[in-house]
Amino acid sequence: MNNKLSGWDDTIVAPATAAAVSAIGVVRVTGKQAFSVVQHLFPSKNLADQSSHTLHVGWLKDGEQVIDEVVLSLFKGPKSYTGEDTIEISGHGSPFVQQQIVHACIKYGARMAKPGEFTQRAFLNGKLDLTQAESVADLIAANTSAGQRTALHNIRGGFSNQLKHMREQLIQFASLIELELDFATEDVEFADRTKFYSLLQQIESVTQLLIESFKLGNVIKHGVSVAIIGKPNAGKSTLLNCLLNEERAIVSEIAGTTRDTIEETININGVLFRLIDTAGIRQHAGDVIENIGIGKSLEKMRSADLVLYVYDVNAETEDELKEQVDLFEKEGIRYILVANKSDLINENAVDDKDKNCVYITAMLNRGIDALRKMIYDSAVEGAVDTDQTIITNARHLQSLMQIKTSIESVRHGLDNQLPGDLLAIEIRTALFHLGEITGEVTSEDKLDYIFSKFCIGK
Ligand SMILES: Nc1nc2c(ncn2[C@@H]2O[C@H](COP(=O)(O)OP(=O)(O)OP(=O)(O)O)[C@@H](O)[C@H]2O)c(=O)[nH]1
Ligand SMILES: [Mg+2]
């Protein structure tokens, strides 16, 4: 490992559970002095004499002052999360008591941990590679089953293994080509060009798939924003309530009922959707406030990932609808046409040929399942198969794109019989970007930046 983090020999401490009143709160201490720091506070046993992976109940005291009754979990390095000696102090879940425990540890030689520093140490000690470490942060932040499964897949090394495999094969070829350079005058080829071509092709297609998976990864990680747009009284708020299954927004027959935007989330098949009900759009608003609301509606229409255009099938003319659709097409806005109030028309009048349109009766909860499916399909395009590797991290995307470019150059170089030394440089560039993802090559600054996005105590 060519990383060296300044000061990672010292002992760090941080609360590992949220700073809120709870049944128990855990403070974590890791580093060379972890046992001796906690020993000062736990007089009833000699901790160094205890076996690893054991629990110890007792009083935590600073001198005569009792802090809490706690359970210590002992982990002797390298068999711990960080790879170092670690003690988890499980006390009562009062943020005040937790702070006292942290302060007492600091008093006896520990230092407050930076965000993500425990995981950073796990990475530096070879317990996890960088993608696995980053997936730990994703798992903590996961709020849907798809997010959870994607993160777990990557923590277990799904993504890393794929990269490792590519890297090993590429290294082999790079070495063979570099070897040829030593025999330049003899015109020998150690690297089988046909095999090399097929490897490059394989890497290109895997990289491409991973790059494409980012769109879905983004959906899984950040959810999808869905703006409900339409004229006043079209039934937008009724639809919001329907999708949420609760009376969240005010519904009335008065045009211009909704003035400010209302945001709520729903989970469809494990993916999070942020629904945004907006003020009905019309030329002549009732007052200044409605006008501001309409401005917001237009803003949401443009910034959302998907627009549900709700219209009253009895009131909207074909021309009006066409004008709206043209606008969406022109601005590249992804949309679904939601024909509402179908209860008021003859069944024969339902035109179900348009795949982008769904007839519903929001008031009676009819057609909502079909709409829900359309929303999901439009955002996700096929089922979320989390056994596949899905990229959720912009940093990985960037490196993958660079890998793709350098692999393309290598292939181009082969086509044009580029000299071996130039080919080797391109291969090394691809290897560099591969290593960048897993953390085999990276700078200390970059690591600090990546881990600073974690929460304290992780
Ligand atoms: N018949 C019928 N009436 C509906 C249906 N959906 C909504 N309505 C009625 O239409 C009226 C307007 O509904 P809202 O949901 O408030 O409409 P909106 O689009 O949010 O209106 P604004 O907030 O004013 O822009 C209410 O009286 C609803 O009861 C439906 O499917 N069928
Ligand atoms: Mg409304």
pLDDT tens for 439-448 read 877 677 777 7
- Report the separation in Å between the CA atom of 229 and the middle of ligand 2, taken as the mean of its atom positions: 10
β-partners of residue 66 are: 61
Atom of ligand 1 nearest to the CA of 258: 23
For residue 385, the model assigns a pLDDT of 66
Give the span between the Cα atoms of 262 and 9, in whole angstroms.
50
Atom of ligand 1 nearest to the CA of 279: 25
How confident is the model over 146-170, as a mean pLDDT? 87
Q: How many CB atoms lie within 10 A of CB 383?
A: 10
Q: List domains and CATH numbers for the chain.
A: 12-128 (3.30.1360.120), 141-219+393-438 (1.20.120.430), 224-380 (3.40.50.300)
Q: Is the pLDDT of residue 1 over 50?
A: no
- Report the separation in Å between the CA atom of 343 and the middle of ligand 2, taken as the mean of its atom positions: 19
β-partners of residue 265 are: 274
- Report the separation in Å between the CA atom of 255 and the middle of ligand 2, taken as the mean of its atom positions: 8
Give which of 60, 87, 89 is closest to 75, Cα–Cα: 87
- For residues 357 and 336, is the Cβ–Cβ distance under 8 A? yes
- Report the separation in Å between the CA atom of 257 and the middle of ligand 2, taken as the mean of its atom positions: 5
For residue 53, the model assigns a pLDDT of 97
255 lines ligand 1 (CB under 6 A): yes
For residue 58, the model assigns a pLDDT of 97
Residue 366 per-residue DSSP state:
B
Give the span between the Cα atoms of 350 and 358, in whole angstroms.
9
- Report the SS3 class of residue 96: helix
Give the span between the Cα atoms of 284 and 327, in whole angstroms.
20
Q: Is the pLDDT of residue 211 over 90?
A: yes
How confident is the model over 132-139, as a mean pLDDT? 88
Among 233, 259, 338, 365, the mutation site with the greatest number of ligand 1 atoms within 8 A of its Cβ is 233
Q: What residue type is 128 in one-letter code? A: L
Q: Is the pLDDT of residue 6 over 70?
A: no
| Tens of pLDDT, residues 326-360 | 999 999 999 999 999 999 987 777 777 788 899 99
Residue found by looking up tokens 């935007």 in the block: 261
- Residue 154: both structure tokens together: 């990557």
- Report the SS3 class of residue 306: strand
Q: Is the pLDDT of residue 2 over 50?
A: no
Give which of 17, 381, 51 is closest to 216, Cα–Cα: 381
User: Which class for 443: exposed (0-12), middle (13-18), buried (19 or more C-beta within 10 A)?
Assistant: exposed
CA distances from 190 to 14, 147, 169, 356, 429 (A): 54, 45, 15, 56, 21
H or E stretch at 65: strand 65-75
**Single pTM value for the model:** 0.72
- Residue 392: both structure tokens together: 């959720």
Q: What are the φ and ψ backbone dihedral angles of 309, each rounded to 5 degrees?
A: -95, 105
- Report the SS3 class of residue 273: strand
Q: How confident is the model at residue 384 (pLDDT cuts 50, 70, 90)?
A: low
238 lines ligand 1 (CB under 6 A): yes
